[in-house]
Structure formats: structure tokens, C-alpha cells
Structure 1
Amino acid sequence: MNAAENASMTLAKMQQQAGEVFPNYLNFTKQISQFGPIDHKMQELIHVACSLMSQCEMCISLHVQGAASLGATKEEILQAAMLAISMGGSPKLMYMKYVFEEVEDLFD
């Protein structure tokens, strides 16, 4: 099972187990994505960088796929990830492995 599949399974279990807390969280994140002038592709690129900063393999997978589905190029995704490395240093660099895996699956 890949990281995106693991994330989907985790989200489904949260839906079942967290009562109203999880739907409220999802509504909150939806409201944030609709607030302001940043388009959804750019939001996903920001999420790619944040996922790398958080060192979350499942998040990286989901947001690289999300960015690509909204028209982000391989180069835009890699730059977003590398911006996180510029802020986070070598520990974040190690998580580029997951970005490279996703972009290779999506673009190569």
C-alpha cells in the first residue's frame, strides 16, 4: 500500500471514529481554502512545502498528487519542495525521496 492509499485509509477511519470532530475539521480546512485570493494550484504547492516541513510522507504524497491534478508541473512541485529545504535544511532534504517518488510516478 502506497502513502496516498495509507492516507485515504486513515482519513476514512477518522471519519468513522472521531464523531463530529473530524467533519468539523474538514469544514474548517475547506473554508480556509476558499478564503482569499490564492488559487487552488498554488495552495497545493504551499501544501507540498508544508508537508516536507512537517516530514509527513502521506501528506507529501497527497499534496504532490493534488498539485499535479490542478495543473502544477513537475518543476513547480520540485521548486515548492526545495523551498522547504531552504528553510528546513538537511532533515527536510531527506524527505525529497517521497517527492521524487511521486513526481516520477506522475510525470515520467
Structure 2
Amino acid sequence: MDAAEKAATTLAKMQERAGNVFPKYLEFTKEISQFSSIDHKTQELIHVACSMMSQCEMCISLHIQGAASNGATKEEIMQAAMLAISMGGSPKVMYMKYVFDELEDLFD
């Protein structure tokens, strides 16, 4: 099971087991996305960098897929990940493994 599949499974369980809390959280995040004057591709690239900073493997995978599906190039996704490294240093370099894996699946 890849990271995106693991994330989908986790999100489905949250829908089942978190009562009203999780749907409200999803509504909140959707509203932020729609309220923004930042286009969806750029939002996803920001999420890629934030995922790297958070060291969340599943998030990295999901947001790279989201960025690519919104028209981001391999180079733009790499740049977003590299910006996280510039802020987070060596520990973030180790999470590039997940970036490389996802880019390989999507672009190579």
C-alpha cells in the first residue's frame, strides 16, 4: 500500500470514527482553499513544502499528486520541496526520498 492509499484509508476511518469533528475540519480546509486568491496549483505547492516541514510522508505524497493534477511540473514540485529544505535543514533532506518516489511514479 503506497502513501496515498494509506492516507485514503486513514481519512476514511476518520470519517467513520470522528463524529462531527472531522467533517467540520474538512469543511474548514475546503473553505480556506476556496476563499484564497492563490490558485490551486500554487496552494498544492505550498502544501508540498509544508508537508516536508511537518515530515508527513502521506501528506507529501498526496500534495505532490495534487500539485501534479493541478498542472505543476516536476521541476516546480522539486523547487517547493527544496524550499522546505532551505528552512528546515538536513532533517528535511531525508524526506526527499518520498518526493523522489512520488515524482518517479508520476513523471518517469
TM-score tier (shorter)? over 0.9
Match of 1:103 in 2: 103
- Mapped to 1, the partners of 2:40 and 2:75 lie a distance apart of 17
Structure 1: gaps spanning 5 or more residues: none
Residue 49 of structure 1 and its aligned partner are, at CA, apart by 0.2
| 30-39 vs 20-29, greater mean Cα deviation | 30-39
Residue 17 of structure 1 and its aligned partner are, at CA, apart by 0.1
Residue 36 of structure 1 and its aligned partner are, at CA, apart by 2.6
- Mapped to 2, the partners of 1:28 and 1:37 lie a distance apart of 16
The C-alpha deviation readout for 1:49-80, integer Å capped at 9, x for no partner, is: 00000000000000000000001000000000
Match of 2:78 in 1: 78
- What residue identity is the alignment partner of 2:59? C
Identity of aligned residues (%): 81
Superposition pairs of residues 12-91 of structure 1, within 5 angstroms: 12-91=12-91
The C-alpha deviation readout for 1:18-54, integer Å capped at 9, x for no partner, is: 0000000000000100113100000000000000000
- Mapped to 1, the partners of 2:72 and 2:104 lie a distance apart of 14
- Mapped to 2, the partners of 1:56 and 1:67 lie a distance apart of 16
| 32-41 vs 10-19, greater mean Cα deviation | 32-41
TM, length-normalised to structure 2: 0.99
- Structure 1 stretches of 4+ with a deviation exceeding 6 A read none
- Mapped to 2, the partners of 1:11 and 1:72 lie a distance apart of 24
Count matched residues. Answer: 108
Structure 2: gaps spanning 5 or more residues: none
TM, length-normalised to structure 1: 0.99
